[in-house]
Amino acid sequence: MGTKRFQFNTETLQYEQRSTSWFQRVGRITLKTVLSIGMGFGLMLAYSLVFDTPRTQNLKRSREEMLQQVAMLQDLVQSASSQIGIIERRDNQVYRSIFEADTIPQSVRHGGVGGVDRYAELADVPDGVQIKHLMENLDQLQWRTYVQSKSFDEVARLAFEKDQMLHAIPAVQPVSVKELVRISSLFGGRRDPFTGQGRMHTGVDFVGKTDTPIHATGDGIVIVATNSFNGYGNQVIVDHGFGYKTRYAHMNRILVREGEKVKRGQVIGAMGSTGRSTGTHLHYEVLVKNKPVNPLLYFNDMDEEEYEQMLAHAEMQDLD
């Protein structure tokens, strides 16, 4: 049975009964419900378009923080790249130049990151381009750092070898100036004291008293320490490495043994007149790659004036 309802009639000025069926009532309720739900969804949609949800706000905040960190890392990478660039230029122009090493080309210093694009998938990710660029810069920075590290290893090795070489080169006189009487014969052609014929003199003869100390002229290893009454007599040969050797001949006494390491300035023997000799002296030779050279070219412990005085007092007396 329908619900009774009354409606005022403006023409008759009376209330008239109006009945509504149950189906009509359900229909109206359903319509109102649908409209209410629709309006609710509409309001929520409008709100979401105008205002961010808490989750969206968190996501946006996280994205902004990430982009800020990416930008900060880019700045740090750029700064590090500039700093290593300064080191690379100094390495090529100073360090490697000092030790006569080849410079490292830019193609090598900046290479090593070609081939397959390792970060291609980032191009399709939101904000992936910035991240991809950062990762590529980090890869290149890592490669440049590796190359520079290897270069420093090489420079350190060259520096060590250079230091060894500076100590090994026969760069001083074998006889102290205070102990030296004179130089009797220089490097070059001269008359043989035994045959009277012209012969190449392959060293310098230092004259002094018997048992005058003889010093190693550079660091090295004794490879010959022999006693003999012929030829060079009692002699010592020191291998200094780097192609250098020195010979100390006609000694009265030998104070080192074969295989012994010696230092520049160390006393290795005493002056004498053993072997093919006509008087007390030291026959001293410098050999470069087993070829005798003028020892005077290696006397770095004398200044120009002392060098000229030494030549002026050389008597050119042939003793061996």
Mean pLDDT of the chain: 81
Q: Are residues 206 and 283 in the same domain?
A: yes
Out of 6-15, 148-157, 182-191, 256-265, give the one with best mean pLDDT: 256-265
279 in helix, strand or coil? coil
- When divided into structural domains, the chain yields a total of 2
> Is 37:98 a contact under the CB 8 Å cutoff?
no
- 39 within some domain: no
Q: Report the pLDDT value the prediction gives residue 131, as an integer from 0 to 100.
A: 77
* 246, 240 Cβ separation under 8 angstroms: yes
Instruction: Give yes or no: residues 273 and 184 share one domain.
Output: yes
Q: Which residues contact 136 (CB under 8 A, 6 or more apart)?
A: 113, 119
Query: Same domain for 85 and 143?
Result: yes
The CA-to-CA distance between both ends of the chain, in Å, stands at 153
Q: Which of 149, 168, 187 is the last residue of a domain?
A: 168
Evaluate if residue 53 carries a pLDDT over 70. no
The residue-averaged pLDDT of 88-110 equals 85
Residues 100 and 118 in one domain: yes
pLDDT above 70 (res 153): yes
CATH of the domain at 219: 2.70.70.10
Whether residue 16 lies inside any domain: the answer is: no
Residues 6+ apart with CB under 8 A from 188: 200, 201, 294
Residue 313: pLDDT above 90?
Answer: no
Phi/psi of residue 105, each to 5°? Answer: -65, 155
Q: Are residues 162 and 181 in the same domain?
A: no
Residue 202 and residue 90 in one domain: no
CB 223 within 8 A of CB 238: yes
3-state secondary structure at position 67: helix
Residue 93 is part of which domain span?
A: 63-168
- Statement: residue 144 has pLDDT above 80: yes
263 and 156 within one domain: no
| Residue with more model confidence, 179 or 62 | 179
- Number of continuous H segments (helices) and E segments (strands) in the chain: 6, 14
- Do 136 and 198 share a structural domain? no
Greater pLDDT, 2 or 286 = 286
| Radius of gyration from C-alpha coordinates of the chain | 49
Domain limit, last residue, from 107, 140, 168: 168
Q: Are 152 and 230 found together in one domain?
A: no
Environment class of 8 (CB within 10 Å of its CB; exposed 0-12, middle 13-18, buried 19+): exposed
Q: Last residue of a domain, which of 168, 199, 218? A: 168
Residue 1, pLDDT above cutoff 50: no
How many residues are listed for the chain in this entry? Answer: 320
